[in-house]
Amino acid sequence: MRKNTIDIITLGCSKNLVDSERLIRQLELNGYTVTHDSENPQGEIVVVNTCGFIADAQEESVNMILELCQAKEEGRIRQVYVMGCLSQRFMKELGHEIPQVDKFYGKFNWTELVADLGKVYQKDRQYERRLTTPKHYAYLKISEGCDRHCAYCAIPIITGKHQSRPMEDIIAEVEHLVGEGVKEFQIIAQELTYYGIDLYGKQRIAELVERIADVKGVKWVRLHYAYPMNFPWELVDVMRRKKNVCKYLDIALQHVSTKVLTNMQRHVTKEETYALIERLRNELPGIHIRTTLMVGFPGEGEAEFEELKEFVRWAKFDRMGAFAYSEEEGTPAQKKFNDEVPDEVKQKRLSELMELQQEISASVQAEKVGQVMKVIIDRKEGEYYVGRTEFDSPEVDPEVLIPIADGQLRRGSFYNVEIIDSDDFDLYGCVKR
């Protein structure tokens, strides 16, 4: 093991990643060498930032903790610490079941780790981060928690009520990151459109996005995790006026059947969902909508699933993910409903839905052949430079592949690329010189 070295392993979503990046910076300020997501941790200390959202994520987190505890027993690691959503939710149970862990922290008290290591947490630099992403883009977390209380979701149990960050703090962080070379910001929150209600008494997401877009050096702003009820239409006006706000919106719809949506406690109907998508596309032509859907929630019979497929055919989502419902302890759904849809039916429906989306995605991508699109380069991989358009978020969306033979390109730079081919998800292009 390498002395004075700490490995941090991040599991789960980009919101967790931001917390890890802040912790890394605090540890570096205190003289540690920190590595992130190493396949072979060699530091004397390892910190696992866990996910507790659904059963598969919980299992992945527990397996990682057990693996590291084994390494500790074999003398390859001196200390193991655990933080994040899983330990926030099940701290007492984990402490009892895995006593080899030196200490468990929750979602918000991980700052105590610095003091427990005998170091000083520098609060005046709390929003500084050491980016683990390519230096030209960053995730920007604008709030914690959620007040929506969807029946299937454990997030409010884990993170508590919605807490918006003060707007001035966010803008200061953007200015700092731009100074570090960041050009592209993925705006993230558990629920983006709720921003400001707790601090200012009203939705202020549109004002915040406009102010971020006005910071000199910000080239792209992309919006994640909006909510369909009480959608703030002034946000679309900002997207229309500000050229550096991408025509991209990630809005998790979950389902379309009014029956299922009611069971989910989503407070929106089928008719309102159709109207929302139609209005978004009418008011902002060219917008790319990303959504997430769920199959197998209690109340979803064959008729409701057919409603969902018909909706997907009609909406032709530019980007779509889906997952099967899993019952989560302590949620309203777990208390109120029986998990009545058999697992094999859930998986069959999930496969059907994703096969349908694959066809739609292929059609959406094929329509771009012949267009010249602005592309940012993320990396070099094999025989290609790999980049993204404004319609593609890192990690989750399609990419643009440009042959290395096309000439030397710089990571983090923008190029005009002519799209010459496509497959089900990705695009292929050449630089327009």
* CA dihedral over 312, 400, 228, 349, signed as positive or negative: positive
Cα distance between residue 263 and residue 360, in whole Å: 28
pLDDT tens digits, one per residue of 13-59: 899 999 999 999 999 999 999 999 988 888 899 999 999 877 888 89
Residue 345: pLDDT band (50, 70, 90) is: very high
Q: Mean pLDDT, to the nearest integer, of 342-349?
A: 97
Q: Mean pLDDT, to the nearest integer, of 398-415?
A: 94
- The strand pairing partners of 431, in sequence order, are 417
pLDDT tens digits, one per residue of 376-394: 999 999 999 999 999 999 9
So what's the pLDDT on residue 1? 65
* Matching residue, tokens 């004002």: 207
Dihedral (C-alpha) 352, 60, 398, 289: value to the nearest 10 degrees? 70
Cα distance between residue 314 and residue 389, in whole Å: 24
HSE of 79, CA atoms in CB hemisphere, 13 A: 15
pLDDT tens digits, one per residue of 62-83: 999 999 999 999 999 999 999 9
Question: And the tokens for 363?
Answer: 């059609």
Cβ atoms 47, 84 nearer than 8 A? no
Cα distance between residue 310 and residue 328, in whole Å: 28
Tell me the pTM: 0.94
Cα distance between residue 6 and residue 424, in whole Å: 41
Q: What is the length of the chain?
A: 433
The Cα-based distances of 211 to 26, 75, 192, 207, 237 in angstroms read 28, 51, 15, 6, 14
pLDDT tens digits, one per residue of 218-237: 999 999 999 999 999 999 99
So what's the pLDDT on residue 48? 96
So what's the pLDDT on residue 400? 98
- pLDDT at residue 163 tops 70: yes
- pLDDT at residue 6 tops 90: yes
- Vertex 56, ends 55 and 58: CA angle to 5°? 65
Closest C-alpha to 253, from 337, 188, 171, 317: 317
pLDDT tens digits, one per residue of 179-218: 999 999 999 999 999 999 999 999 999 999 999 999 999 9
Cβ atoms 189, 143 nearer than 8 A? yes
So what's the pLDDT on residue 21? 96
Cα distance between residue 300 and residue 307, in whole Å: 10
pLDDT tens digits, one per residue of 232-268: 999 999 999 999 999 999 999 999 999 999 999 999 9
Average pLDDT score over the chain: 95
So what's the pLDDT on residue 126? 86
